[in-house]
Amino acid sequence: MSSWLDAVKWDADGLVPAIAQDHKTGRILMMAWMNREALQLTVQENRAIYYSRSRQKLWRKGEESGHVQTLHEVRLDCDADVIVLQVEQIGGIACHTGRESCFYRVYENGEWVTVDAVLKDPKEIY
């Protein structure tokens, strides 16, 4: 059962970057880290579970905010060192800033410009 996990090239800390992408629109929602247990549990529980480097523990996306990511598909890139999760973002907010995506800034004329509105005040979420 673990052979599929052995195919992943974990970094020196036992982590792999994981990109969450909306399964319908293809929009990149966020990037986080997974360890072996997080990836295995993600598949078992059919929801995104990451590893929080700052808290040094598993983080079930939405456990505090309610913004759960339901899993539709897991992909491994050609070098086996990046995971892409195709997810349904419950509540439409993936970012802790209250936006749909963590990628809400666009480079324009030498600066980063915020292009996505806050959908919900983070103080109301956390």
Instruction: Flag whether 11 is marked binding.
Output: no
Instruction: Flag whether 121 is marked binding.
Output: no
Q: Which long-range contacts (CB under 8 A, 24 or more apart) does 8-11 make?
A: 8/36, 8/39, 8/76, 8/80, 8/81, 8/83, 9/79, 9/80, 9/81, 10/35, 10/36, 11/81
Instruction: Flag whether 22 is marked binding.
Output: no
Instruction: Flag whether 79 is marked binding.
Output: yes
Instruction: Flag whether 13 is marked binding.
Output: no
Instruction: Flag whether 6 is marked binding.
Output: no
Query: Residues annotated in the binding site for Mg(2+), as ranges?
Result: 77, 79, 81
Query: Residues annotated in the binding site, as ranges?
Result: 77-79, 81, 95, 102
Query: Residues annotated in the binding site for Zn(2+), as ranges?
Result: 78, 95, 102
